[in-house]
Structure 1
Amino acid sequence: MEIALEKVCDLIVHARAFDVKEGMTDPRSGSNETDDRNFGSLAESGTDRGEEEMRLVIDGLNTDEAASLIALVFVGRGDMEAAEWPDAYRLAHERMASGALSPADWLMGIPNLGDLLEEGLAGLGMSCT
């Protein structure tokens, strides 16, 4: 694995925080702030700082580190076995090189990313604990 375990563990924490965020519950309710007791004003607006931070961390990784994260997802979700790590890592590199895979977009689009990264680490005999 070409990424420090600490970086993966940090990303797992960020990914889990990102996963539990809720979007607006009723963006077109038709009510006004007074009628809904101002609940609408509690919804986050604008850019999510957690999402921004996670994207910056992923975009700041070098190619080998990003490929390692993607390969961990392949192993974590069962696409490939831990014994196939070299193939998973190579495949991640190939997909990134072809432009078919933007690491930040792809990784952040996975709903249970933190769990999959953790499963991938477990498959390789590693843990954040």
Structure 2
Amino acid sequence: MELSVPLETVCRLIVRARELEAQVPMNDTEDDSEDPTDSDDPMAVLEDEANVAVEEEVRTLLEDLAEDEIAEVLALAWVGRGTYEASEWDEALEEAAGDEANPVEDLFEMPMLAAYLDAGLAAFDLSCEGIGQID
């Protein structure tokens, strides 16, 4: 199996998806104007609204892919999730290419997208090790 989507792109998507998944939703407080840095809770700084820049970058990375590339990313995620085995790649790719839903939204809404993509790459003996600053 050879990907048409560059491995570097998949790896960047994994890194950004991890950042997006790591965000902790902010707890509702009685005083919404309270600055989290003024809180007595040292972990309050981690609780923030979704980082819009990371969310936009993930969405842009996905939307900028060609149709065959987005189908490959979706099929990789499905293999990583266990929906398909690596030996069923052609079926997964065919299903992803014919997906009537919006594949960008399907990927964007996967709760463990980074892990699924990483596992999907591993199923084909691919990894992000040595790609840019990704280790």
Normalised by the size of structure 2, how large is the TM-score?
A: 0.79
Cα RMSD for the two superposed structures: 2.3
Kindly report structure 1 stretches of 4+ aligned residues shifted beyond 6 Å: none
For these two proteins, the number of residue pairs brought into alignment is: 121
Contact 1:70 1:103 in 2 (8 A): yes
Q: Distance in 1 between matches of 2:128 and 2:66?
A: 21
> What's the counterpart of residue 109 of structure 2?
109
Structure 2: where are the runs of 5+ without partners?
A: 40-44, 130-135
C-alpha spacing 1:37/1:107, structure 2 compared with 1 (3 Å): closer
1:45: Cα distance to partner? 5.4
> What's the counterpart of residue 52 of structure 1?
56
User: Per the alignment, in what secondary structure is the counterpart of residue 23 of structure 1?
Assistant: coil
> What's the counterpart of residue 12 of structure 2?
10
Q: Is 2:66 aligned against 1:66?
A: no
Q: Is 2:127 aligned against 1:123?
A: no
Q: Distance in 2 between matches of 1:31 and 1:108?
A: 32
C-alpha spacing 1:44/1:83, structure 2 compared with 1 (3 Å): same
C-alpha spacing 1:46/1:119, structure 2 compared with 1 (3 Å): closer
